[in-house]
């Protein structure tokens, strides 16, 4: 078991579902709030953590948007992003694709360029210092209007070289993918890739819509696909990746406990599932904690762990050369290890 834990934590990993605002730890939230002269509605770091007791997605989102309010300056976005990338370095995450929510900031009067500059400067530094590659994905807040999403895309286009795709996050139920068909069409004509949160709390029909109307390259979460056999067949037949976030799903009560999670049964049915941390500062862990939780709750095998990582590499928005390099790094790590002996 100890060997297995070591094996999991040392695996060279990729992360494909990470909201950078969800990586803001309470300590850094306080530090940034203080230097910006802001009063937080909490007395201490402990009080912030104690408030992280969610029963559904909306309860989390309310506190997550509140936490992001400390971010005002370019340096704030840089520090938040760099703190996450340091965790990546410590946890052997070799490639990461980060979501950011520009509307959370522009609606508070912050220039979108400030957000882009702070995040991308950190991404560049992490590439130079640690060889961590990355991509940015701009997410639209689905509880806001389709017009606001279109305005956000327009405002972001001067920074087109800094992001690879667009996504859809925030309150899912009542805000189906079809609401954003026009803005996703526009993004596709700009050569952007598309992804969408679907089937986290929302029904399988939202996953169908994301596939057919938004032409997504990946589904974020997607765990409710299991309620629709035809949909599972579509996902398997098209090799469509799901960016699954185990600890998030437990903390937001999508599943009651890790033993009930369907990630490994989807894997065994041939769905290209991957492991990700979503909002690690809020959900109790980064990539390694997610893998360890799968070991603990679902008796994840070493072979399954390697397949999950390979799925992530295959589902990444990267060049063929980088994909080959990541596979080679994983091959080198696994070489000589008797995977069955770890189980």
Contacting positions for Zn ion (CB under 5 A): 278
The answer to whether 200 is a known catalytic residue is yes
Query: Based on CB atoms, which residue is closest to Zn ion, 74 or 316?
Result: 316
Binding-residue pattern over the window 150 to 189 for ligand HPA, x denoting contact by CB under 6 A: -------------------xx-------------------
Give the residue ranges of DSSP H helices in 107-256.
Answer: 112-130, 146-156, 181-189, 204-212, 229-237, 246-251
- CA dist 318 to 31, 169, 189, 221, Å? 34, 22, 20, 21
Q: How many CB atoms lie within 10 A of CB 270?
A: 13
Q: How many residues does the chain have?
A: 343
Determine, following the binding rule CB under 6 A, whether residue 200 of this chain makes contact with ligand HPA: yes
- Cα four-point dihedral sign 52, 116, 318, 134: negative
Total residues binding ligand HPA (CB under 6 A): 10
Query: Based on CB atoms, which residue is closest to Zn ion, 4 or 175?
Result: 175
Query: Minimum Å distance from CB 170 to ligand HPA?
Result: 5
Query: Minimum Å distance from CB 234 to ligand HPA?
Result: 22
Binding-residue pattern over the window 248 to 287 for ligand HPA, x denoting contact by CB under 6 A: x-----------------------------xx--------
Cα–Cα distance measured from residue 106 to residue 230, given in angstroms and rounded to the nearest whole number = 40
Determine, following the binding rule CB under 6 A, whether residue 97 of this chain makes contact with ligand HPA: no
Q: Which does 67 bind (CB under 5 to 8 A by kind): Zn ion, ligand HPA, none?
A: none
Binding-residue pattern over the window 1 to 20 for ligand HPA, x denoting contact by CB under 6 A: ------------------x-
Edge-to-edge strand order for the sheet containing 272-275?
13-19, 93-100, 133-141, 165-169, 193-198, 218-221, 241-244, 272-275
Cβ–Cβ < 8 Å for 169, 99: yes
Query: Minimum Å distance from CB 285 to Zn ion?
Result: 14
Query: Minimum Å distance from CB 73 to ligand HPA?
Result: 22
Q: Which does 170 bind (CB under 5 to 8 A by kind): ligand HPA, Zn ion, none?
A: ligand HPA
Q: Which does 57 bind (CB under 5 to 8 A by kind): Zn ion, ligand HPA, none?
A: ligand HPA
Cβ-proximal residue to Zn ion, closest one: 278
Give the residue ranges of DSSP H helices in 91-190.
Answer: 102-106, 112-130, 146-156, 181-189
Binding-residue pattern over the window 50 to 79 for ligand HPA, x denoting contact by CB under 6 A: -------x----------------------
Cα–Cα distance measured from residue 275 to residue 334, given in angstroms and rounded to the nearest whole number = 18
Query: Based on CB atoms, which residue is closest to ligand HPA, 19 or 105?
Result: 19
| CA Rg value for the chain | 19
- CA dist 194 to 137, 235, 304, Å? 9, 16, 27
Query: Which positions from 128 through 147 interact with ligand HPA, judged by CB under 6 A?
Result: none
Cβ–Cβ < 8 Å for 162, 190: no
Nearest to 163 by CA among 130, 123, 198: 123
Catalytic residue among 74, 200, 227, 268: 200
Query: Based on CB atoms, which residue is closest to Zn ion, 21 or 278?
Result: 278
Residues at the site binding ligand HPA, with contacts judged by CB under 6 A: 19, 22, 57, 169-170, 197, 200, 248, 278-279
Give catalytic residues, as residue numbers.
200
């Amino acid at each position: 078991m100890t060997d297995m834990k070591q094996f999991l934590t040392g695996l060279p990993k990729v992360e494909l579902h990470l909201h950078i605002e969800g990586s803001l730890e309470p300590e850094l939230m306080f530090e940034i709030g203080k230097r910006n002269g802001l009063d937080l509605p909490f007395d201490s770091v402990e009080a912030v953590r104690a408030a992280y007791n969610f029963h559904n997605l909306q309860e989390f989102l309310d506190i997550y948007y509140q936490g992001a309010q400390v971010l005002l300056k370019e340096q704030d976005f840089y520090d938040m992003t760099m703190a996450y990338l340091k965790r990546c370095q410590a946890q052997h995450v070799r490639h990461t694709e980060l979501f950011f929510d520009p509307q959370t900031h522009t609606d508070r009067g912050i220039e979108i360029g400030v957000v882009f500059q702070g995040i991308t400067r950190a991404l560049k530094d992490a590439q130079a210092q640690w060889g961590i590659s990355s991509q940015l994905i701009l997410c639209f807040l689905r509880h806001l209007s389709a017009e606001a999403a279109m305005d956000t895309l327009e405002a972001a286009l001067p920074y087109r070289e800094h992001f690879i795709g667009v996504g859809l996050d925030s309150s899912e139920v009542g805000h189906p993918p079809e609401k954003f068909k026009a803005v996703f069409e526009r993004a596709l004509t700009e050569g952007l890739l598309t992804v969408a949160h679907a089937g986290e709390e929302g029904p399988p029909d939202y996953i169908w819509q994301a596939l057919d109307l938004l032409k997504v390259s990946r589904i974020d979460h997607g765990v409710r696909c299991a309620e629709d056999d035809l949909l599972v067949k579509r996902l398997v037949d098209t090799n469509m990746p799901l960016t699954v976030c185990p600890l998030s799903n437990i903390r937001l009560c999508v599943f009651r406990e890790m033993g009930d999670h369907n990630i490994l049964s989807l894997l065994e049915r041939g769905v290209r599932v991957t492991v990700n941390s979503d909002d690690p500062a809020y959900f109790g862990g980064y990539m390694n904690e997610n893998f360890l939780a799968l070991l603990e709750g679902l008796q994840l095998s070493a072979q399954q762990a390697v397949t999950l990582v390979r799925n992530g590499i295959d589902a990444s928005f990267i060049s063929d050369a980088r994909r080959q390099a990541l596979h080679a790094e994983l091959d080198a790590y696994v070489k000589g290890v008797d995977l069955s002996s770890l189980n």
